Amino acid sequence: MATLNLQDMHAIADEAEERMARDLDVGVVRSTLFTLGSVDRTQALGPKRDPNQRMLMGQDPRLPETPARPKLIDFFKLRFGPSAHLLQSAKLALKAGHPEKIVIACLLHDIGVVGFIRSDHGYWGAQLVEPYVDEEVSWAIRYHQAIRFYPDESVGYEYPELYLRLFGPDYRPDPYIDRDYQYARNHKWYMTARLVTLNDYYAFDPNAKVDVDEFEDVIGRNFRQPEEGLGWDNSPSSHMWRTLIAPTKFL
Ligand SMILES: [Fe+2]
Ligand SMILES: [Fe+2]
C-alpha cells in the first residue's frame, strides 16, 4: 500500500478545506504554525480568496463537537491523539504504589504531545494544566522533558534506548535543556519529575487495554475542573484550551 508523504497530506487537507468552503460557504485558513516547514510562508498562499467569502469563526465541523462545559476527559476523547502512552504510564505509576500526584503527573506528562504541540512539549503541557493541578505536578511535567535526557543510577534510570534510535548516538541536548536539568536536579521536587521519567515507558504491551475512564476518580481528586468548562473559565491557560476546541478559528 502506498504511504502518504507530507505533500500528499497537505493536498488532502487543502482539498478538504476547499470542499468545506463550498459546502458551508465558509473559509478555513491553517495557522502559520500548522504549515511552517512544508509551505513557503514568505510567498502568498494559493489563489486569491474571494473578498466576499466568510471565514470560520467557531468550531470546525470536521471535528467532533465539544460539550458546552468541556472537562479534561472530553479533551482526551474528542481532541487528543492516541493517548495509550499516557494511560499506560499512569497505570504503571499506580501499580508501583506511587501517590496520586505522581499518577496524575504521569497521566498528563505528554499532554503537550498528544494534544497541542511536540516541540518543547514539557513546557507547553505544564502551562496548559498549571491552573488546575498542584504546583508540584505541573513542575514535574515541565521538567520531565529535560530530565529524560539524563541518567540517574540511584533509581536505575538509563538514557532511553528510544532516544538513541530517534536522535542518533551523537545527539546532545540543547544548552537550555542542560541548564533546566541542572536546575531541576537540585530542586526539592526533583524526584517527582524523575518518577515521571521512570514511568515514561514505551515498550507497551499491545494487548493491554487502558481506558481514560479508569482514571476518572484520580482526575476528580487531582485536577480542579472549572465550573464553566475548560476554555471558558478565564484562567491563564483558558486560551490554550479554546484553541484546542476551535483550532481553525480564523481569529
Ligand atoms: Fe515527554
Ligand atoms: Fe512520555
CB atoms within 10 A of CB 144: 27
Output the CA 128–ligand 1 centroid distance in Å.
Answer: 14
Amino acid at 187: H
Contact between 120 and 146 (Cβ < 8 Å): no
Task: List the Cα angle 70/75/76 in 5-degree steps.
Answer: 140
Per-residue pLDDT at 152 exceeds 90:
yes
Output the CA 65–ligand 2 centroid distance in Å.
Answer: 28
- Phi, psi of 205, deg, nearest 5: -80, 115
- Phi, psi of 112, deg, nearest 5: -60, -45
Model pLDDT, residue 204: 64
pTM above 0.95, yes or no: no
Q: Of 248, 250, 242, 251, whose CA–CA distance to 75 is shortest?
A: 242
CB atoms within 10 A of CB 141: 31
Longest dimension (CA), the chain: 65
Which of 55-59, 64-68, 97-101, 148-152 comes out lowest in average pLDDT?
Answer: 55-59
Output the CA 111–ligand 2 centroid distance in Å.
Answer: 9
Output the CA 242–ligand 1 centroid distance in Å.
Answer: 23
Model pLDDT, residue 1: 43
